[in-house]
Amino acid sequence: MLRVFLAPTLLLFAFAGCKKEAPPAPAPAAPTAEPSRLADPACVGRWDDSGATRTVESGGKTFTVKGSRVEETTKDDDDQLVLGVVADVKEDTPENIANLDAIIKFFKESKVEAIVVDGDLGEDQKQIENVLAKLAESGLPLFSIIGNRDSRAAYDNAMAAVSARYPGLFNLDQIRAVSFDDGALVSMPGYHNKVYIHAEDGCLYGPADLEATKPAVAALKGKTIVMVSHGPPKQDGADALDRTLEQVNVGDPAMSEFLREQGIKLGIFANVREAGGRATNLPGMALVKEGVFSEELYLSNGPADSVRWTMNDGTESVGMASLFTIKGNKASFKTFRVHPKATKK
C-alpha cells in the first residue's frame, strides 16, 4: 500500500498518487454468531459490579473502578459532556501519527473531557501500543474498544502495557458501563459478523452478549446513555451508517433491536468507515444535521487513517475524527477533517 507523508503545513497535492485500499466484499446481512452463545469473556467482559474499588485520576477527573463499572466522582459547573471520538487508525505510520497529533490538538482546543477510541488501531501489538500511547499523551481519559481488525491478544497486551504508564486508559472490552457527570457509556466490544473479522483471534459477539449487557444499562438508570460499539446497527437506505461502497446495508439487526428495546437513543460507531462523518436516526433514513442537538443521534465517526478513502457523501477522507456532545437527553456532533482541502464533492 502506497502512503504519502503529509506534514501539517503542507497542502495536499501529494495525495493524487495515493492508492485506495480495495473495499471489502459485501458481507451477509445476518449475524454469524450463534444467538444463544456468549462470546469469550476475554472479548466481551461479563457484567460484574462487585469487588474492590480503586481510584484513578486523569485529565483533572477522578474515577472509581469497581468490577465492570467506572464512575466519575468529580463534578463540573456545566451541564454537558464533550467527548472526542477517534477510530480506524489501522497502522502507526508517520502519516497516521501526524493525523493523531492534529486530532489531539483539535480535541484540546474543543475542551474535550475524554476520548472514545472506537477500534481498529493497528496490525499488531506494537502498532496498537504506539497508537494508544500517542492518544494517552493528551493527558485525557481514554475509553478504548476492540474493532473488527484487531487481534484480541495484541489488543489486550497493548492495553496492559500502555495502561501501566497511563492509568487513565480504560478497556471498554471489560468496562461495560461508564458514568460521567453529564452522561454515560455502555460498550459492546467486537463485531457481529465474522466475515468482517480480520484477525484469527478477533472478537465476535452475538445476540446473547447484547442480552447480557442489559444489567449494565440498568445500572445507569437516570443517565443519558450512549452505546459504543465498533459496528453499527442494521439500518436502511443510502444514508445509513452501515451502507457500504457496494450499496449494501450490513449492520447488526440484533443491535438495532437492542437499542430500540432499551430506549438507547444515542450511539457511537466506526465501521462502515465510508459511511463516516454523519449521524442518523435509528432506522437510518433521516440524517441528523451537524451541530444540532437531537434526542436521537447515532454517529459514524469516520477513519483517522491517512489513506485516501471515498466516502458515501462523495468526499474523500484522509483522516477524520469527531466531537460528540451530550446535553441533557440530547446530543450533537461535529466532524473534524485533518486535511479538509484534500476532500472533494
Q: What is the per-residue pLDDT for 342?
A: 65
Q: What is the per-residue pLDDT for 339?
A: 87
Flag whether 160 is in a domain: yes
Q: What is the dihedral of CA 210, 211, 213, 219, to 10 degrees?
A: 140
> How many folded domains does the chain comprise?
1
Flag whether 131 is in a domain: yes
Angstrom distance (rounded) from CA 244 to CA 25: 9
Residue-number span of the structural domain to which 157 is assigned: 79-175+182-339
pLDDT string in tens for the chain (345-residue length):
334 334 433 333 333 333 344 444 444 445 566 777 999 999 999 999 998 999 999 999 999 999 999 999 999 999 999 999 999 999 999 999 999 999 999 999 999 999 999 999 999 999 999 999 999 999 999 999 999 999 999 999 999 999 999 999 999 999 999 999 999 999 999 999 999 999 999 999 999 999 999 999 999 999 999 999 999 999 999 999 999 999 999 999 999 999 999 999 999 999 999 999 999 999 999 999 999 999 999 999 999 999 999 999 999 999 999 999 999 999 999 999 998 876 665
Angstrom distance (rounded) from CA 176 to CA 67: 9
Flag whether 212 is in a domain: yes
Flag whether 6 is in a domain: no
Angstrom distance (rounded) from CA 53 to CA 8: 43
> How distant is the alpha carbon of residue 139 from its chain centre?
19
**Sequential DSSP letters for 288-316:** PPTT--BSSEEEE------S-EE-TTS-E
Unique residue bearing C-alpha cell 484513578 = 56
- Distance between terminal CA atoms of the chain? 24
Q: Is 80 helix (H, G, I), strand (E, B) or coil?
A: strand
CATH number at residue 302: 3.60.21.10
Flag whether 255 is in a domain: yes
| Helix (H) or strand (E) run with residue 207 in it | helix 207-211
Q: What is the per-residue pLDDT for 227?
A: 98
Flag whether 101 is in a domain: yes
Angstrom distance (rounded) from CA 278 to CA 335: 8
Flag whether 68 is in a domain: no
